[in-house]
């Protein structure tokens, strides 16, 4: 199924000028970038975006981190885009990520893991709408 999903290149990767390299990995894996923008969100916006994690011990640090510097947000489109993006990203903890995944290649730690990707069709719709409202 042709799907759309939301990808975020997080502050640690934007700061290391990895945007073009990461975009190339998506396009080489048949995920087309339909829209994109570089933005710097507030901690309140990060808290809204990551609301699903509000009961987790890492929530406050996660929101501070996502708002700590510019991020690059993208709508990716392609066959099975949601699961394909998750596969290309690799496991949440770069230490556990498969070889050649973005998180294995570029992730620094479980919190500074370079990319975000929607985890379901429902969340992909919500997350795309969060950043790309018309």
Chain positions contacting ligand UDP, by CB under 6 A: 53, 58, 62, 92, 110-111, 113, 116, 119
Decide which of ligand UDP, Mg ion, none touches 114; Cβ closer than 5 to 8 Å per partner kind.
none
Please give the span between the terminal C-alpha atoms of the chain, in angstroms, as a whole number.
24
> DSSP label at 35?
E
What letter would DSSP give residue 53?
A: G
Q: How far is CA 17 from CA 22, 34, 45, 84, 103, in A?
A: 10, 21, 23, 24, 15
Say which of 88, 116, 118, 128 is annotated catalytic. Answer: 116
Q: Which residue, 45 or 111, is less far from ligand UDP as judged by CB?
A: 111
Smallest gap from residue 104 Cβ to Mg ion (A): 17
Q: Which does 113 bind (CB under 5 to 8 A by kind): Mg ion, ligand UDP, none?
A: ligand UDP
Give the number of other CB atoms < 10 A from CB of residue 17. Answer: 8
Nearer to ligand UDP, 53 or 95 (CB): 53
Give catalytic residues, as residue numbers.
116
């Amino acid at each position: 199924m042709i799907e759309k999903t939301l990808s975020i290149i997080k502050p640690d990767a934007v700061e290391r000028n990895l945007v073009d390299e990461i975009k190339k990995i998506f396009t080489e894996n048949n995920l087309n970038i339909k829209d994109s923008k570089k933005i710097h969100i507030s901690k309140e916006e990060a808290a809204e975006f990551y609301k699903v994690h509000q009961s987790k011990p890492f929530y406050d640090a996660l929101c501070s981190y996502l708002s700590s510097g510019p991020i690059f947000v993208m709508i990716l489109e392609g066959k099975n885009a949601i699961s394909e993006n998750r596969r290309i990203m690799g496991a949440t903890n770069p230490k556990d990520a498969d070889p050649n995944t973005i998180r294995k290649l570029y992730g620094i730690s479980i919190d500074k893991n370079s990319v975000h990707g929607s985890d379901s069709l429902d969340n992909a719709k919500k997350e795309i709408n969060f950043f790309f409202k018309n």
